[in-house]
């Protein structure tokens, strides 16, 4: 019992941020993300004995979270509406120039089709290779690479339409 508690605490402390962010980019909703993460860890607790290798913990949790999200989708199919743009991020008083840019970029990321943004989140935030992502999402690797290409391509094009924002690409 004690060791289970210890393992669980380590997982929560080490991975809750990654999971929350991943959930956020999946759902674009902070409250839903929190709920998803809670549900994910709850299930993780119940199934903790089935996790043999701590190194695989992150992928394991992501898989649980994706499944939970799919379930949520099934439940909420009828009251799903297109998210409203201004509800994506709450309007934090964005002071610094960099924060404004971040906000702008978040908006662009949120506008990517989910099948493009999901691998991108896994690659950039999760640090997963194309092969890992293919396994996680149950796709073949070429499909993943194509989606990653398109995701970056769209973001870069968006940036280039607004030279103000693209400025940092050429700094240094």
Partner 1 sequence: MKNSTTSKDMTSETKMDDLQFRRSIYADPSSLDEDIIAAQNDDPAKKQLAQELCMLDERIKQAMSIPVPDDLCDKLLLRQTLKSHQQNKRKSRIHLALAASVAIIAGIVVNYLQFSNSYNYDNLGDYALAHVYYEQGSFSNSTNAKVSLDSLNQKMVTFNGSFSDSMGELIAADYCRFDGMKSLHLVFKGVTDTVAVFVVPKKEHLEFVDKFHDDNLQGESLSYQENDIIVVANKNESLSQWQRAISNNINWSI
Q: Footprint of partner 1 on residues 65-94 (CB under 8 A)?
A: 89
24 touches 33 (CB < 8 A)? yes
Closest Cα partner for 65 from 32, 106, 90?
A: 32
126: part of which helix (H) or strand (E)?
none
Q: Is residue 24 part of the contact set for partner 1 (CB under 8 A)?
A: yes
Closest Cα partner for 121 from 56, 11, 26?
A: 26
Minimum Å gap between C-beta 78 and partner 1 is 28
Q: Is residue 100 part of the contact set for partner 1 (CB under 8 A)?
A: no
Residues 4-23: x where in contact with partner 1 by CB under 8 A, - otherwise, as a string: -x--xx--xx--xx--xx--
How far is 116 from 43, CA to CA, in rounded Å? 27
How far is 45 from 66, CA to CA, in rounded Å? 16
User: Could you list the residues that contact partner 1 (CB under 8 A)?
Assistant: 5, 8-9, 12-13, 16-17, 20-21, 24-25, 30, 34, 37-38, 41-42, 45, 89, 98, 101-103, 105-106, 109, 120-121, 123-125, 130, 142, 145-146, 148-149, 152-153, 155-156, 159, 168-171
């Amino acid at each position: 019992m004690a060791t289970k508690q210890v393992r669980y605490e380590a997982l929560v402390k080490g991975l809750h941020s990654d999971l929350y962010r991943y959930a956020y980019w999946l759902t674009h909703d902070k409250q839903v993300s929190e709920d998803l993460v809670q549900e994910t860890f709850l299930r993780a607790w119940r199934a903790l004995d089935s996790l043999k290798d701590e190194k695989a913990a992150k992928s394991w949790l992501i898989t649980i979270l994706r499944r939970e999200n799919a379930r949520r989708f099934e439940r909420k199919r009828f009251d799903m509406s297109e998210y409203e743009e201004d509800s994506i991020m709450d309007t934090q008083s964005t002071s610094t120039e960099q924060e404004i840019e971040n906000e702008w970029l978040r908006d662009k990321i949120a506008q990517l089709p989910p099948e493009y943004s999901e691998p991108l989140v896994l690659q950039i935030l999760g640090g997963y290779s194309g092969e890992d992502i293919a396994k996680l999402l149950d796709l073949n690797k070429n499909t993943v690479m194509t989606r990653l290409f398109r995701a970056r391509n769209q973001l870069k094009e968006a940036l280039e339409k607004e030279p103000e924002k693209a400025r940092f690409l050429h700094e240094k």
